[in-house]
Chains A and B, each alone.
Chain A
Amino acid sequence: MTNISLNPQQPKTAAMAERMAEVSGRSLWADARTRFLRNKAAMVSLVVLILVALFAFFGQYLTPWDNETIDWNVLGNTKELGRPSLANGHYFGFGESGRDLYSRVVQGTQISLMVGVVGAAIAVIVGTIYGAVAGFVGGRVDSAMMRFVDIAMSIPYMFVLILLLVVFGRSIVMLFVGIGLTAWLDMSRIVRGQTLSIKNKEYIEAAVATGVPTFTIIRRHIVPNLLGVVAVYATLLVPSMILTESFISFLGLGVQEPLTSWGALISEGVKTMNYGMLWQLFFPLTFFVITIFAFFFIGDGLRDALDPKDR
């Protein structure tokens, strides 16, 4: 009976403990989510990006025109007849070749987004595996693998990419291969560095000491800690893939007709802006710029949200 009074704080502490139990520990991800949701620029960008994606998927259903039919009446007098108009359903007007620009932009958005996302996905998967293996195994294997990356990285890849496209024909598959060949290199370096630093952390040591199997350590401790860096880098990789693809397509070496992409559409728009058909430049350029903007802001927001140093 008396030992309760020995510690007058005890009831209070017990109550506190009870309250603490109710507030379950916030995980890294829950924490990151809250911070990301608070980032206005990133949230606006996310909405913009969702709208662009919806446009790519469902935009085609909003127009009676497809991206292949050529309106022969308009061709040759696009400046007068091909203006954007809500009345005739050609919301963005006509493109250079007498096709409906709206559905061309829908198609270009699909292709550009696909190149960005698939290219980044390939880079992330290959780079993560390569980097993680190099980091884990360490020693000679590590230095051989990383020396290879060093050499591959210092090859001026734009030339190799253009060579690939010229030699094996300009196709979207070749574009994927070419972009994918180089994009994973940075990723593998980042993942390796991260793996090395995680490997030496105390909690890994503790896990090893308590006899947790290696595979479980990788799954429970190393992969979740890698994921933050990978997610941030992947988001920043998507716009750079889109930029590369647009660069190549702008030169006319990328996707070929009847397919199109933002780069190809911008290039067409540049060719015709002398004749006053500015809408042909304006629409693809706007989509390109807002999407790249959105990806950068989301990447920044994710970095702020996931960087544990920034608490």
Chain B
Amino acid sequence: MFSFVARRIAVAIPTLLVLLVISFLLMQTAPGGPFTSEKPLPAQVLANIEAKYGLNDPMWKQFTNYITGIVTAFDFGPSYRYKDRTVNDIIAQGFPVTLTYGTISFIVAVFVGGLLGIAAAIKHNSWLDYIAVGITIGAQVLPNFVMAPILLLIFTLWLGWLPGGGWNGGQWNYLIMPVIALSTSYMASIARLTRSSMLEVLRSNFIRTARAKGLPNRVIIWRHALKPSILPVVSYLGPAFVGMVTGSFIIDSIFSTGGIGFFYVNAAFNRDYAVMMGLTILLGTMTIAFNMVVDILYAWIDPKIRL
């Protein structure tokens, strides 16, 4: 187990470094610095600003300073666009929002998707199964940027039941549409994976043995069949997490929830490199770390992977 974890970390660290170097180099090669504007600043002012942000230092020094700042003080530096805000302020403002609806969506996707898949497998070829299969096929073509406007159209414009956007401190009725829009396609994938692997497990010999010795159905499903059949779901958690993170770009832009995605897209439009890079590193690190945890979890659950 230990050596597996160590090996997994040994892949994660170079990945993180590659991500850091790529984003740093891209930012450096960007044409037009963060202070180029239509009205050129006087050379003296520009020099002062560049000195303030340390842009005159050699590249390697800027890089090491930046990394040291993050690692030692969790300091992502100032925003180039908003003079009174640091990247940390932006993270502090947007991150809790994204984390709230992201976590809820993740839980909804895993539990609803998992239960739907199990139910469909147990009642194979029943109306429940057909509904589940129908949902999973439909949801494949409804990514969040299609789902969100449709929800908005139905529940806000036509029915007027739910507020069309905003956050309002995470009140439940502001959360419903973001969560549905973000979780649907992942829920569908999880349901499909669970259903097919559950069906396969239910046909296997050890389940037949369990039936033959007269175990109640409940015990067969939950104690014997569940564990092997959630394996593909575990390996899907990584991609689902990544989808939730990038999905927040869409959710924030349609529902004006003001999460981290809003700031990221805004920074992309304003060429606020400091914010973009800070968020890329933060969210990228989280993604890499999450994938690592999922891999370790998978190896821990799956007896076939020798540690």
Contact = CB atoms under 8 A, between A and B. Distances in A.
B145 A154 contact: no
Nearest to A278: B153
A65 interface: no
Interface string B270-292: 01000010011001100110010
A251 B26 contact: no
Interface stretch (A120-128, A209-217, A262-270): A262-270
B284 A159 contact: yes
Interface in B184-202: none
B146 A266 contact: yes
Contact of A151 (B18, B27, B152): B18
Contact of B268 (A166, A263, A267, A278): A166
B141 A292 contact: yes
B149 A269 contact: yes
A285 B30 contact: no
B205 interface: no
B269 A252 contact: yes
B146 A296 contact: no
Size bracket of the B interface: 35 or more
Interface in B1-40: 11-12, 14-15, 18-19, 22-23, 26-27, 29-31
Contact of A263 (B26, B145, B276): B145
User: Among A156, A251, A266, A274, which residue has the most Cβ atoms of chain B within 10 A?
Assistant: A156
Majority-rule SS of B interface residues: helix
A29 B53 CA distance: 63
Nearest to A170: B268
Given A155-B19, A266-B149, A250 B276 contact: no
25 contacts: A151-B15, A152-B18, A154-B288, A155-B284, A156-B280, A158-B242, A159-B283, A159-B284, A163-B27, A166-B30, A166-B271, A167-B31, A169-B31, A247-B143, A247-B145, A247-B246, A251-B268, A252-B265, A252-B269, A266-B149, A269-B149, A270-B148, A273-B157, A274-B157, A296-B137
A35 to B, nearest CB: 20
A124 B291 CA distance: 26
A167 B29 contact: yes
A251 B144 CA distance: 12
A288 B15 contact: no
A155 B149 contact: no
A253 interface: yes
B253 interface: yes
Contacts of A281: 149, 153
A156 B283 contact: yes
Nearest to B279: A159
Interface string A280-296: 01000100110011001
A288 B268 CA distance: 26
A204 interface: no
A150 interface: yes
A231 interface: no
A107 to B, nearest CB: 20
A160 B23 CA distance: 7
Given A150-B11, A154-B12, A167-B29, A270 B254 contact: yes
B8 to A, nearest CB: 10
Q: Which 9 A-B pairs have the closest CB atoms?
A: A292-B141, A167-B30, A159-B280, A270-B149, A156-B287, A158-B246, A250-B145, A156-B284, A154-B15
Contact of A156 (B19, B157, B254, B276): B19
Given A156-B242, A166-B276, A292-B141, 18 more contacts: A156-B280, A163-B22, A163-B23, A163-B26, A166-B30, A246-B145, A247-B145, A247-B250, A253-B269, A266-B145, A270-B148, A270-B152, A270-B254, A273-B152, A273-B153, A273-B157, A274-B157, A285-B149
Contacts of A163: 22-23, 26-27, 276, 280
